[in-house]
C-alpha cells in the first residue's frame, strides 16, 4: 500500500546525526506566510521574505541555546530603495515581525541586496542584557550571511549551515566530538540537501536515513506561532520616554494618543486622564 507523507507546513524538529557527531534543527514556517500577510497588509512576496527572516532568527536562537529565556532579533535594512524588516524569535518557536511603512502595490524585490545590513541582537535574562552585531549580506543569501555571522561570533572552527529556502531550512551544528572528517561529510550533505526531503519523514517522529551514511534521529519538535509580548504597561513606559511636552502637544492636536504596536498592530489608546496618570506616577 502506498503511504502518502504530508509535509508539515509549520514545524521544527531538533535531533542528532549520531554517527557524524552533529546536531540538526530542521524547520518550516510556511503556515505563517498568510498570517503575516494579513497582519501587516503586505504582499505574499514580502510576507515570505519576513517568514524567511523569522526562520533565520529562530536558527540563531537554536544555535547553542543554553538558556530558555534567550531571544534573537534580526533587523534587516536595505538602503536603496529604503526598506526594513525586523524578526524576533524565541527558542520555543514564538516570534514576531515588524515591517516598515511601504506601499503594498509597489514591487519590493529582494531585501537581501549587497548594500543591505543585518543587525543581530541577542537578548538574555528576559531581555535585560542585549548584545548587538552588524552582519553584511553575503551573496544575496540569508543563510550564508548567518553562517558567516556564527563563524565570526564563535571565533572557533565550527561547521554550521543554514539553508533557509523560504520558508524552510536546516541548520547543522558540530558537537565537541566531531572530527574534521565529520565536518566535511556534513558540509557536503548540507550543500545538496533540500530540507523538504526530510521534513515529512522526521515529522512522523521516526529516525530517517539518507545516502546510507546519514541517520537523522529526531529528539524534540514544536510549532511556530506569531506572538507578541507588548502590553499596556510597556506602552505607558514608551509614552513616559516620549516626555510630557511632546505628549501634551499630541493631546492638543488629536485629543488622545494612539500608539500602534509595530509587531502585532494592536492599538493602544490613551485619553487625557490616562496621560496625566502616566506622568504623575
Parallel, antiparallel or unpaired: strands 257-260 and 267-270: antiparallel
Integer Cα distance of 142 and 128 in angstroms:
27
Q: Which is nearer to Zn ion, 217 or 226 (CB)?
A: 226
Q: What are the CB-based long-range contacts (under 8 Å, 24+) for 34-38?
A: 35/226, 36/97, 36/226
Q: Per the structure block, which three cell numbers stand in for 18?
A: 549520531
CB of 94 to Zn ion, least distance (A): 12
CB of 229 to Zn ion, least distance (A): 7
CB of 260 to Zn ion, least distance (A): 9
Residues 160-179: x where in contact with Zn ion by CB under 5 A, - otherwise, as a string: --------------------
CB of 84 to Zn ion, least distance (A): 17
Q: Which is nearer to Zn ion, 187 or 264 (CB)?
A: 264
Residues 28-57: x where in contact with Zn ion by CB under 5 A, - otherwise, as a string: ------------------------------
Q: Which is nearer to Zn ion, 209 or 232 (CB)?
A: 232
* 134, 118 contact by CB (below 8 A): yes
Q: What are the CB-based long-range contacts (under 8 Å, 24+) for 178-181?
A: 178/20, 178/21, 178/22, 179/21
CB of 234 to Zn ion, least distance (A): 9
Q: Which is nearer to Zn ion, 231 or 277 (CB)?
A: 231
* Interface of this chain with Zn ion, residues 217 to 276, rule: CB under 5 A: 228, 230, 261, 263-264, 266
Q: Which is nearer to Zn ion, 206 or 260 (CB)?
A: 260
CB of 262 to Zn ion, least distance (A): 8
* C-alpha dist (Å) from residue 274 to 160, 234, 247: 50, 14, 11
Q: Which is nearer to Zn ion, 88 or 116 (CB)?
A: 88
CB of 68 to Zn ion, least distance (A): 21
* 212, 12 contact by CB (below 8 A): no
Q: What is the DSSP letter of 77?
A: E
Task: Tell me, by CB under 5 A, how many residues bind Zn ion.
Answer: 6
Angle CA(11)–CA(16)–CA(17) in degrees, nearest 5? 120
* C-alpha dist (Å) from residue 249 to 7, 232, 234, 252: 54, 21, 21, 5
Q: Which is nearer to Zn ion, 121 or 153 (CB)?
A: 121
Q: What are phi and psi of 202, to 5 degrees?
A: -70, -25
Which positions lie near Zn ion, rule CB under 5 A?
228, 230, 261, 263-264, 266
Amino acid at each position: 500500500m502506498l503511504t502518502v507523507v504530508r509535509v508539515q507546513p509549520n514545524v521544527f524538529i531538533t535531533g542528532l546525526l549520531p554517527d557524524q557527531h552533529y546536531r540538526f534543527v530542521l524547520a518550516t514556517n510556511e503556515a505563517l506566510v498568510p498570517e503575516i500577510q494579513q497582519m501587516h497588509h503586505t504582499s505574499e512576496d514580502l510576507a515570505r521574505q519576513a517568514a524567511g527572516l523569522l526562520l533565520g532568527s529562530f536558527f540563531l536562537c537554536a544555535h547553542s541555546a543554553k538558556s530558555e529565556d534567550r531571544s534573537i532579533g534580526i533587523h534587516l535594512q536595505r538602503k536603496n530603495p529604503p526598506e526594513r524588516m525586523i524578526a524576533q524569535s524565541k527558542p520555543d518557536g514564538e516570534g514576531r515581525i515588524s515591517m516598515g511603512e511601504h506601499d503594498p502595490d509597489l514591487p519590493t524585490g529582494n531585501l537581501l541586496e549587497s548594500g543591505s545590513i543585518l543587525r543581530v541582537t541577542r537578548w538574555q535574562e528576559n531581555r535585560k542584557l542585549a548584545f548587538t552585531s552588524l552582519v553584511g549580506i553575503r551573496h544575496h543569501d540569508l543563510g550564508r550571511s548567518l553562517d558567516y555571522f556564527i563563524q565570526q561570533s564563535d571565533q572557533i572552527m565550527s561547521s554550521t549551515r543554514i539553508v533557509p529556502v523560504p520558508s524552510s531550512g536546516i541548520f547543522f551544528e558540530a558537537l565537541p566530538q566531531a572530527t574534521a572528517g565529520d565536518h566535511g561529510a556534513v558540509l557536503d550533505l548540507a550543500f545538496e540537501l533540500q530540507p523538504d526531503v526530510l521534513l515529512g519523514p522526521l515529522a512522523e517522529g521516526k529516525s530517517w536515513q539518507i545516502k546510507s551514511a546519514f541517520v537523522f534521529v529526531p529528539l524534540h519538535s514544536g510549532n511556530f506561532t506569531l506572538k507578541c509580548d507588548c502590553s499596556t504597561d510597556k506602552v505607558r513606559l514608551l509614552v513616559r520616554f516620549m516626555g510630557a511636552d511632546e505628549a501634551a502637544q499630541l493631546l492638543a492636536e488629536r485629543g488622545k494618543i494612539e500608539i500602534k504596536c509595530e509587531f502585532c498592530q494592536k492599538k493602544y489608546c490613551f485619553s487625557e486622564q490616562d496621560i496625566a496618570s502616566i506622568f504623575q506616577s
